[in-house]
């Protein structure tokens, strides 16, 4: 896989611009522009594979639907890169229901390492696909918001409140 097969997309959200990188096998990275610039990949648009371009477009559409309150679960293929432990943690995060909150301890138990609470926190911090892999749904054991995207707790709070609003609106209708 060469870097030139990847496609980069930008998505405007209610809480700032996000970028994402897709390769033919799935979305590999995403981030908040205010926290980190998108990766520089010369000639990405001109040399991206058709599969990567299609996945980038689909991922951008799904993010837009999520932020509009019309999507609860992403279906675009994800292809994060990490250690076996990180991949297990991220897979467990994807099992957290929309609008739910779990603790780092819950995730440590879910991956069969109940004493690895700090390691779960580090895996969350290394999550290359925020929002797609919902690390924002993980809170401290006492329910407090802790750790998110370089200490951008305002983003975490907004995402959790957004999901709560969507669930309330759907319950009322």
User: What pLDDT is stored for residue 1 in this prediction?
Assistant: 46
Q: Going by C-beta distance under 8 Å and a sequence separation of 6 or more, which residues neighbour residue 113?
A: 85, 119, 120
Mean pLDDT, rounded, for 94-108: 96
- Percent of the chain whose pLDDT exceeds 70: 90
Phi, psi of 81, rounded to the nearest 5 degrees: -115, 130
| 102-103 and 138-139 beta bridge pairing | parallel
3-state secondary structure of 34: coil
User: What pLDDT is stored for residue 39 in this prediction?
Assistant: 76
Catalytic residues: 135
Q: Is the pLDDT of residue 165 over 70?
A: yes
Q: Compute the Cα dihedral for 115, 118, 122, 124 and give only its sign.
A: positive
User: What pLDDT is stored for residue 160 in this prediction?
Assistant: 95
User: What pLDDT is stored for residue 140 in this prediction?
Assistant: 87
Mean pLDDT, rounded, for 9-33: 94
Q: Compute the Cα dihedral for 105, 109, 115, 120 and give only its sign.
A: negative
């Amino acid at each position: 896989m060469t870097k030139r097969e990847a496609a980069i997309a930008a998505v405007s959200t209610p809480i700032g611009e996000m970028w994402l990188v897709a390769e033919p096998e799935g979305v590999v990275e995403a981030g908040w522009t205010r926290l980190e610039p998108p990766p520089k990949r010369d000639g990405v648009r001109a040399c991206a594979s058709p599969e990567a371009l299609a996945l980038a477009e689909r991922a951008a559409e799904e993010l837009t639907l999520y932020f509009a309150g019309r999507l609860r679960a992403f279906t675009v293929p994800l292809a994060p890169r990490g250690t076996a432990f990180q991949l297990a943690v991220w897979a467990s995060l994807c099992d957290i229901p929309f609008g739910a909150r779990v603790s780092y301890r819950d995730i440590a138990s879910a991956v069969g390492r109940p004493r690895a609470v700090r390691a779960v926190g580090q895996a969350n911090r290394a999550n290359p696909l925020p929002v797609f892999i919902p690390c924002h749904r993980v809170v401290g054991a006492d329910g407090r918001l802790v750790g998110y995207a370089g200490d951008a707790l305002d983003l975490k709070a907004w995402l959790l409140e957004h999901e709560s609003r969507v669930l309330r609106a759907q319950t009322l209708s």
